[in-house]
Structure 1
């Protein structure tokens, strides 16, 4: 029942804005992953390191690029060992956020949203593509145990950024 109420809330989030001040352009949100702390590991690499269930290996001794580790895709429940098999997923998609208030944000606000760790999961690339820019009213993870967590996290991020 809780999932159903979250889906109703998510469905109502979908109709808040009728027109966009400007067209969505991903480059205005995330031209590339940043390396805020200057350690040569960008946001994607740091996420791979943080979420790995086993020690990671790197492509060279500088330890900038993760090659392998052990990750569980929350959308499917499957495990992956190759970093290249995973996409960084925006729980609240960038284009969805754009349509629901983010179009009015500054470039810095868009970038902060795009790289907010609370809005990022590592998922199988094919499921990331199948989700596209849909919210929980149009798409839910195929792995049943992840559905409630996904819907709750989506709502939490949408509320955090005022995407109502």
Structure 2
């Protein structure tokens, strides 16, 4: 379980640390998943290394909660809007829509049944590079829409903080999960292990 957070405003200035792109949405959403060939190239570019220790890690090192985004809404609401289909909202509050949970493939229609989780867990990012970042960089990572997914609470609880193959979603979601994971690791220049590389290769092999 990586990063379900309560809503707080922490400062728009941190958002300037993020890139302009957002997490690729599920089919029917506003975005498009990376092509398998792109993911293969990104995977090949990642440095294979032994994960570092958890020394000094705490979730506070990634901020205390969601920041307010430039549109005036917090990160959670923006993720729900970006990844859902037929989303209905009043102001910043999302009331309904259609989402497909990336971890278990479950269809969800109520935002109250969703957690917003860090795809690459904060602990995993710490072991593979984030321990060397500034606090502002870590808070930006924790609020980056590339790094966040709307998933069922149950699947989030069962995920833990391990990379593949320590955790892998249901097989129908392997392609989307792996392409998103690789995108985040490449974007932040996080390292991977050899077993992680092999599991990701296996998963993107299911992409069509």
The TM-score range, normalised by the shorter chain, is 0.7 to 0.9
**Is 1:13–1:163's contact at 8 Å kept on the other side of the alignment?**
no
Report the alpha carbon displacement of residue 54 of structure 1 after superposing the two structures with TM. Answer: 1.1
Structure number with the bigger relative contact order (C-alpha 8 A, sep ≥ 6) is: 2
Q: Distance in 2 between matches of 1:137 and 1:147?
A: 11
Q: Which residue of 2 aligns with 1:129?
A: 157
**What secondary structure sits across from 2:85 in the alignment?**
coil
* 2:77 aligned residue: 45
Q: SS in structure 2 opposite 1:122?
A: strand
Give the one of 133, 137, 147 matched to 2:174: 147
The secondary structure found in structure 2 opposite 1:27 is: helix
Match of 2:56 in 1: 23
Deviation at 1:153, TM superposition (A): 1.9
Residue 131 of structure 1 and its aligned partner are, at CA, apart by: 0.7
The reply on whether 1:157 has 2:192 as its aligned counterpart is no
Instruction: Quote the offset at 1:159 in angstroms.
Output: 2.1
1:106 and 2:134 are equivalent in the alignment: yes
SS at 1:117 equivalent: coil
RMSD of Structure 2 on Structure 1 (CA)? 2.4
The normalised TM-score by structure 1 is 0.80
Stretches of structure 1 that go unaligned for 5 or more consecutive residues are none
Does structure 1 residue 36 correspond to structure 2 residue 69? Answer: yes
Seen in structure 2, the aligned counterparts of structure 1 residues 152 and 51 have a Cα distance that, compared at 3 Å, is: closer
- Report the equivalent of 1:96: 124
* Structure 1 match to 2:197: none
Q: Secondary structure of 2:168's match?
A: coil
Structure 1 position 54 matched with structure 2 position 86: yes
Segments of structure 2 that go 5 or more residues without pairing to the other structure are 1-35, 192-208
1:14 Cα shift?
Answer: 7.0
The 1-side partners of 2:127 and 2:173 are apart by 25
Secondary structure of 2:87 counterpart: coil
What residue in structure 2 maps to residue 116 of structure 1? Answer: 144
Conserved in 2, the CA contact under 8 Å of 1:53 and 1:69?
yes
Q: What's the CA shift for 1:13?
A: 5.1
> TM-score under structure 2 normalisation?
0.64
**SS of residue in 1 equivalent to 2:97:** strand
- Within 2, Cα distance between the matches of 1:137 and 1:14? 16
